[in-house]
Amino acid sequence: MSQTLGEFEQLVLLSILQAREDAYALAVLKQLDERANRRVDRGTLYKTLDRLEAKGLVEWTVEDATPDRGGHRRRLFAVTDRGIAQLRRSRQVLFNLWDGLEPVLRGSS
């Protein structure tokens, strides 16, 4: 049985993918703000990342602390193969539901 992704979970996974090799929390927040027009606080993001990790959809590594970050370490996030597969399933479900609705959703101009 496949897991169901919530809208925000999908947005976070897609934001991680968009951030590519720079998928740290601040970069993910920036993607969410700029591409999805969603302002999210760090706490909400980290709770969602923890939930996605528990589902096996995200993994992370810790980058060593550096002086330019005040000696703080940071986590680099990556979407797992399982996460990619779940995004594909979610996308296909949406395509299936959207199919044939273009005339209705386009409306009259």
Amino acid at 37: N
User: What pTM does this model have?
Assistant: 0.86
**Domain range summary for the chain, segments of one domain joined by +:** 7-98
pLDDT value of residue 17: 98
Per-residue pLDDT of the chain (109 residues; tens, 9 = 90+): 456 799 999 999 999 999 999 999 999 999 999 999 999 999 999 999 999 999 999 999 998 777 776 777 789 999 999 999 999 999 999 999 999 998 898 875 5
**Helix locations, 3-80, DSSP H:** 7-19, 25-36, 42-54
Q: What is the DSSP letter of 58?
A: E
Which of 88, 63, 67, 61 lies closest to 2 in space, CA to CA?
88
For 22, list phi and psi in degrees, rounded to 5: -110, 35
pLDDT value of residue 2: 59
pLDDT value of residue 40: 96
Question: In the CATH hierarchy, which fold is given to the domain comprising 7-98?
Answer: Arc Repressor Mutant, subunit A (1.10.10)
